[in-house]
Amino acid sequence: MAVERTLSIIKPDAVEKKKAGAILALLEDAGFSILACKRMHLTRQQAEGFYAVHKARPFFGELVEFMMRSPVFVAVLEREDAVAQYRKVMGATDPAKADDGTIRKLYGGSVGENAVHGSDSLDNAKIEIAYFFPGNEVAPSAG
Ligand code: ADP
Ligand code: MG
């Protein structure tokens, strides 16, 4: 299986609960290397641009307001099969339906405020990583 990169966002609810460190530790324990990580307070433009694919969904406005509420951590994760493996560790969108031990089960509060974001495909991971880490901000490899 190929080594891949994916984008993680630790969302405002989890950062407010001071769980960013615990989530990053869980990710390292799950075999991910954290190639880049920064704390940012998203502007409306950044939040709307990032979630543009969901613009037509009824929860779009709520989602954008939530993502702008307080700082997030954005991170680039690397490991074998990273996109699928991170989705697995993250858990279902609705924390109530997420498997035990997943990040959303442990730290998510609701289907909207669900602690973390993860890219849903390798193509989107590339787009999302470039969105938050343009140019050569990400080190070439984990090693
Ligand atoms: P995922 O984050 O699991 O890939 P989606 O891409 O479907 O899920 O949705 C993006 C984000 O929009 C979710 O993580 C969640 O924060 C929010 N969201 C999804 N569905 C709802 C909903 N029914 N009500 C409110 N917010 C939602
Ligand atoms: Mg998604």
Q: Are strands 116-118 and 33-40 parallel, antiparallel or unpaired?
A: unpaired
Pocket lined around ligand 1, Cβ cut-off 6 Å: 54, 59, 62-63, 93, 111-112, 114, 117, 120
Cα–Cα distance for residue pair 34/142, rounded to 1 Å: 8
Cα-flanking dihedrals φ and ψ of residue 94, to 5°? -90, 110
pTM: 0.96
Tens digits of residue pLDDT in 32-84: 999 999 999 999 999 999 999 999 999 999 999 999 999 999 999 999 999 99
Residue bearing the CA closest to ligand 1, atom 11: 112
Can you tell me which atom of ligand 1 is nearest the CA of 113?
16
Task: Give the tens place of pLDDT for each residue, 12-37.
Answer: 999 999 999 999 999 999 999 999 99
Q: How many CB atoms lie within 10 A of CB 42?
A: 21
Catalytic entry in 117, 125, 128, 132: 117
Domains of the chain with bracketed CATH: 3-132 (3.30.70.141)
Residue 1 Cα to ligand 2 middle (Å): 23
Catalytic (active site) residue 117: yes
Measured in degrees and rounded to the nearest 5, phi and psi for residue 50 equal -65, -40
Question: Cα–Cα distance between 15 and 7 in angstroms, integer?
Answer: 17
